[in-house]
Each structure stands twice: as structure tokens, then as C-alpha cells.
Amino acid sequence: MKSYKVTLGLLLMNLFIAFLGIGLVIPVLPTLMNELGITGTTVGYLTAAFAIAQLIVSPFAGKATDRFGRKIMIVIGLFIFGSSELLFGLGKEIEVLFISRILGGISAAFIMPAVTAFIADITNTDTRPKALGYMSAAISTGFIIGPGIGGFLAEFGTRVPFFFAGGLGTTAAILSIILLSEPNRTEEQTEEPSNSRFGLQRILAPKYFLAFILIFIASFGLAAFESFFSLFVDHKFQFKPSDIAIVITGGAIFGAIAQVVLFDKLTRIWGEIKLIRYSLILSAVLVFLMTVVHSYFSILLVTFIVFVGFDLFRPAVTSYLSNIAGNEQGFVGGMNSMFTSLANISGPIIGGILFDIDINYPYYFATVILVIGIVMTMFWKKQAEGASNRVKMNKANLN
């Protein structure tokens, strides 16, 4: 049990560090714009470079996780992360910063599926939901604390946050080499898959495809919500930066706490598919309510609760995929990361176009997308139950 706790704790720390590094850049972007003489459009491309690199590399990294092992992918990913942050700290040309962000996306593509598969290997169906809840909380907390730490360290120098993150990532890689041992996979997981060919056919497999699409839908809704929240409340309610920071940070913390406290219990009561459906319903209603609320308190309340919906969805769909993946844990982890990246690219782009037409349109569009996801879960449940019944019938015939 002690070894399990140490391993899980180190895996969660690795994820926390990786996503901490993503948020560090946010408070220093205005200063970098002035230092390098770059435009807001260039900053947008710089931000997208991370998600695009993660999108491209994730499926290959997931396959490599199954083939070469979990530990080696985590260690390589952390070293790449450390290098990317140090490069960003040293970079004086915009081209160097682009290379740094691309390397950062590659590191996230290596780390995410490997950690997901590692957790699936060291847990069982009873302990996995709680472990995956902690995993999502580590990611959320990294996002929350990243900008705060970045802003504090930037007081000592614009590039200090990146040197700090680079050293942190390298230290985590060394600790992982020393403390992590490649997990034993179950007999089911170590068997060679009957269809090992990587490609569109595996992505479109009925047991995976709807889950992947729902990951995209929920991630799209969250990206559209977060990307334009500050602009939305600034234009509509004249929020100050301190007000925006309080609402976003408070909401994210509330969501992370609710995730840790509620996820395991709700999964046992409803199961993953029902929890996914209810999370999407909650998210859709609250995203729409953002367009009709008017008071500061109501905005605070809606934002706090909307994060609960999104934060419960992520571990629920990850748990579902882990339970059905068998020997393809790395593959589903990679596809999870890939569809998330795809949403993180398309959400802000489409949202930006709609925002220029009407400030409410990004939220209307995100609501429609989330409703489509809710409808899909109705068919998903029937399909899952059908597959379960077929498995039971096959077992009965064998007996």
C-alpha cells in the first residue's frame, strides 16, 4: 500500500508539474509582447502551437506507451518538458519560443497517456475511479496555480518562471527514474491485440468512438467558456482583472474539490455513462445561464458550478475508457489527449469568430455542442448495455 501511494503520488506530481508549466506563460505574455515586439495574433499562434503539437503526437505517443512501456515515456516526456521551459526562458527570438512551445506540446503528449495507462495498471475497478479523480484534480490544480506562481516569480524577472519550471521538470524526471518501476500488466493487458493496426479503424471502433467524440465535445465547451470568459465579463459587466481572477480561480478550485469529494461516490451510484450524461447536462445549462445572469453573485455562482460539471466529466470518461481498453491503455490515453487538443485548438478559433459577431454567440454555440453530446449519451448507453449483454451471453455459452 505504501509503494502504491508513493507511485501514485509521484505520477500525480508529474502531471501537476506538466500542467503547471502551461499556465506559467499567461501572466508574462504582455511583457513578452513588448520585449519582442510581437502582435496579439502572433501570441495566439504561439498559444496554439502547444495544442497543435500535442494533437499531432498524442496518437503515436499512446501507441509507443503500449509498446515501449509507461515509465520510459514519462521520463522522456519530463526531460522534454524541462528542456522546453529552459528554452523558453533563454529564447530571445520568436522562432525559439515557437520551438519551445512545440516541444512543450510533445512533452504533454508523452506524459498524459503514459500516466493514464500507468494508473490503470496499478489500480483495479474499485480503486481506479478515485485514482483518476485525483489525476484530473492534479491537472486542474496545475492549471489553477500556474498563472499565480508565474506572476509571483515574474517579479524577479520575466524569464524566471520558465527556469523554475525547467528545473522542476528535470527534477521530476530524475525522481521518476529512481522511484518508479514499470508496472505489471494484467494477463488481459499483456495479450497482443487481435487488431494491432493503428489507424482510423481503431478510432471508429464502436466501443471507443462515442467516448472520443464526447471528450471533444466537453473539451470544446470548456475551451470556449474559459477562452472568452475574461473578454465576456469585461465587455458585459466591466469586470476588473482582480474580479476575473477571483471568479476563475475560485471556480476552478471549487471544481477540483468537488471532483475529489464527489467523483468516486457518484461513479459507484450511477456508473460512468450516467455521470457523463449528468455532467454534460449541468455544463450545458450553466454555460447558457452565463448569457442571462446579471449580478456579480450570480456570475460567481454559475462559474463555480460550471467547473463542477466539466471536472466530473473528465475522470468519468477516462475511467470508462480505462475499464474497456484492455491491452490498449496507451492507445486510448493518446486518443484522449488528441481529441482534447483538437478541441483546445478549434474551440478558441470558432469562439473568436463568433465573439466578433456577438459576445453571447460563443456560449450559445458551446451550449448547442454540449446538448448534442447529451443526446449522444442516450444512444451510447443502449450500445454499452448491448455489448455487456453480448459478453454475458458468450460467457454463459462457454460455461
* 70-119 confidence digits (pLDDT tens): 899 999 999 999 999 999 989 888 899 999 989 998 998 898 888 888 88
Query: What is the spatial distance between Cα 230 and Cα 241, in angstroms, rounded to a whole number?
Result: 8
Q: Which of 120-124, 166-170, 220-224, 363-367 has the lowest mean pLDDT?
A: 220-224
- The confidence score (pLDDT) of residue 80 equals 95
User: Domain for residue 192, yes or no?
Assistant: no
In a domain, 171, yes or no: yes
Is residue 254 domain-shared with residue 175, that is, in the same domain? no
One domain, residues 173 and 94? yes
pLDDT above 90: percentage of residues in the chain: 12
**Cα distance between residue 6 and residue 11, in whole Å:** 9
137 plus 261 within the same structural domain? no
Examine the domain organization and report whether 110 and 251 are in the same domain: no
Residue 100 covered by a domain: yes
Q: Are residues 304 and 386 in the same domain?
A: yes
- Picking from 256, 206, 225, 246, the residue whose alpha carbon sits closest to that of residue 380 is 206
Share of the chain above pLDDT 70, in %: 81
Q: Which of 278, 276, 275, 287 is nearest to 251 (CA)?
A: 287
For residue 176 the three cell numbers come to: 521518476
Instruction: Convert the pLDDT of each residue in 164-200 to its tens digit.
Output: 889 989 998 998 998 888 887 654 444 444 444 445 6
Question: Is 101 a member of any domain?
Answer: yes
**pTM for the whole thing?**
0.65
pLDDT at residue 281 greater than cutoff 60: yes
- Residue 122 sits in the same domain as residue 18: yes
Same domain assignment for residues 162 and 211: no
* E strand spans, 253-336: none
* Amino acid making up residue 80: I
Q: Which domain holds residue 158?
A: 1-181
* Number of helical H runs and strand E runs in the chain: 16, 0
pLDDT tops 60 at residue 382: no
Which SS3 state, helix, strand or coil, does residue 172 take? helix
Please indicate, yes or no, whether residues 287 and 208 belong to a single structural domain of this protein: yes
Are both 140 and 255 inside the same structural domain? no
* Residues 113, 172 share a domain: yes
**DSSP code at position 183:** P
- 117 and 264 both lie in a single domain: no
Residue 75 near residue 129, CB atoms below 8 Å: no
Confidence of residue 216 (pLDDT cuts 50, 70, 90): confident
Residue where a domain stops, chosen among 132, 149, 181: 181
Does any domain span residue 280?
A: yes
Q: How many domains does the chain have?
A: 2
Instruction: Report the alpha-carbon distance of residue 266 to residue 263 in Å, rounded.
Output: 5
Are residues 215 and 170 both part of a single domain? no
The neighbour count for residue 391, using CB atoms within 10 Å, is 10
CATH of the domain at 279: 1.20.1250.20
